[in-house]
Amino acid sequence: MTTGTPAPISLTKKIASGQKISLTKENPGLSKIVIGMGWNPRRTDGKAFDLDAACFLVTAEGKIRSATDMVSYVEGFNTHPSSAVIYTGDNKDGNGDGDDETLTVDLALVPADIAKIVFTASIYCGRTRQQNFGSVESAYARLVDATSNAELYRFDLSEDASTNTAVILVRLYRNGAEWKFEGVGQGYDGGFKALCAEHGLEVEEEVDVA
């Protein structure tokens, strides 16, 4: 009999309804986690290729309560007011091994009226630069126990979102007293702006300054 860190679990991605994991039931006492996201550009036309991670803390209606329930690279929105979610960095090109961007989560600090935490990725100015997820390979999101640094679950994005410029990768959601983890992989056109609109936040159009 062998012991040690459990092997990563590959979530079977389904666009409409992905696999659901009873996160806190399978991992008693788990509170502090890291959601790491990674990707590599498959090809570019010479223009910068920048993917950005973000998350939305939404109520049971699927909408944020205010703009501060969006946590991302945007200046002034790196940390949720509750400190439940913190955005910890922006990789501008996706090069290199390991996670490109990470968000730390403390489930114990999530406000009681927040039902879901939705983790997303979008291509900066994807439409103006004519870039989409077809130009990305090995995109994933993984959930790590922040205390032990053990990778517990991983979600690999399929080719289904290849024509889109934004995607919901995974989400955490309440189920009674427990938290569950779900692989999603739902693609959107319109980049970060479309993701914001989906969750009740209107933002200005992205401007390509590169």
CA 202 to chain centre: 19
Of the candidate CATH numbers 3.40.225.10, 3.40.50.9100, 2.60.60.30, 2.30.30.230, the domain formed by 27-198 belongs to 2.60.60.30
- For the chain, the structural domain boundaries read 27-198
pLDDT at position 41 is 72
For residue 3, the tally of other CB atoms under 10 A from its CB is 4
**Which CB contacts under 8 angstroms, 24+ apart, belong to 84-91?**
84/57, 84/109, 84/110, 84/111, 84/114, 85/55, 85/57, 85/110, 85/117, 87/53, 87/54, 87/55, 90/52, 91/51
Q: What is the pLDDT along the chain (210 residues), one digit of tens a residue?
A: 444 444 444 443 333 347 898 999 989 999 999 999 988 776 655 566 678 899 999 999 999 999 999 999 888 999 999 999 999 875 444 444 578 899 999 999 999 999 999 999 988 766 677 777 777 777 889 999 999 988 888 888 876 567 788 899 999 999 999 999 999 988 898 889 999 999 999 887 654 444
The pTM of this model reads: 0.83
pLDDT at position 145 is 92
